[in-house]
Amino acid sequence: MQKTYYDPADLRKFGKISEWNQELGDKFFEYYGKVFEEGALTAREKSLIALAVAHTEQCPYCIDAYTKDGLQRGITKEEMMEALHVGAAIKSGATLVHGVQMMNKVNKLDGE
């Protein structure tokens, strides 16, 4: 049994999830592939979105995968970092906007 939760080599085995449920696995990978095809958004734009989400989801496999994918597409490190800040801004904004709930509660319980 491995002693760490994450092993980089496991990313290569992602496809194996279908072995325990072929039908749902196949549907998932078909959907996944379709999502990343060129559409109203370019595949390049989708790669940058995926990279930002990979970070907000804190998925190490996805970070590896979409950093590499970005390099393959010629995406620069400046573009990658900018995309991450979009993710980080939404993440911190999502935290802070809950501050309104906190303020509402304080005002209700202990208002002037």
Partner 1 sequence: MTKVKTQSLHKRESDLAQSNRQLEILSNGIFQNGELPTFKSKIAESNQFPLKAKKLEILQINVGYMCNQVCAHCHVDAGPDRKEIMTKETMMQCLDVIRNTGAHTLDLTGGAPEMNPNFRWFVEEAAKAGIKDFIVRSNLTIIRANKKYHDLPEFFKKHNVHVVSSMPHWTKGKTDKQRGDGVFDTSIQALKDLNAIGYGMPDSDLRLDLVYNPSGAFLPGDQNSLEKDFKKALIEDFNIQFHNLFAITNLPISRFLDYLIASENYEDYMYALVEAYNPLAVTNVMCTNTISVSWDGYLFDCDFNQMLELPVNSKVKHISEYNEDLLEGRHIVISQHCYGCTAGAGSSCQGVVA
| Cβ 108 to partner 1 shortest distance, Å | 54
Q: Does 13 bind partner 1 (CB under 8 A)?
A: no
Question: Given candidates 24, 41, 71, 90, which one binds partner 1 under the rule CB under 8 A?
Answer: 71
How far is 18 from 28, CA to CA, in rounded Å? 9
Work out how close the CB of 22 gets to partner 1 at its nearest, in angstroms, rounded to a whole number. 20
48 close to 79: Cβ distance less than 8 angstroms: yes
Could you give the C-alpha distances from 59 to 68, 104, 110, in angstroms and in order? 14, 34, 40
Q: Does 99 bind partner 1 (CB under 8 A)?
A: no
Closest CA relative to residue 36, chosen from 79, 73, 83, 74? 73
Q: Which of 6, 7, 10, 12 binds partner 1 (CB under 8 A)?
A: 12
Q: Which of 47, 48, 56 is nearest to 87 (CA)?
A: 56
Task: Say whether residue 102 binds partner 1 (CB under 8 A).
Answer: no
Please report, as ranges, the residues that interact with partner 1 according to CB under 8 A.
Answer: 12, 42-44, 68-69, 71-74, 76
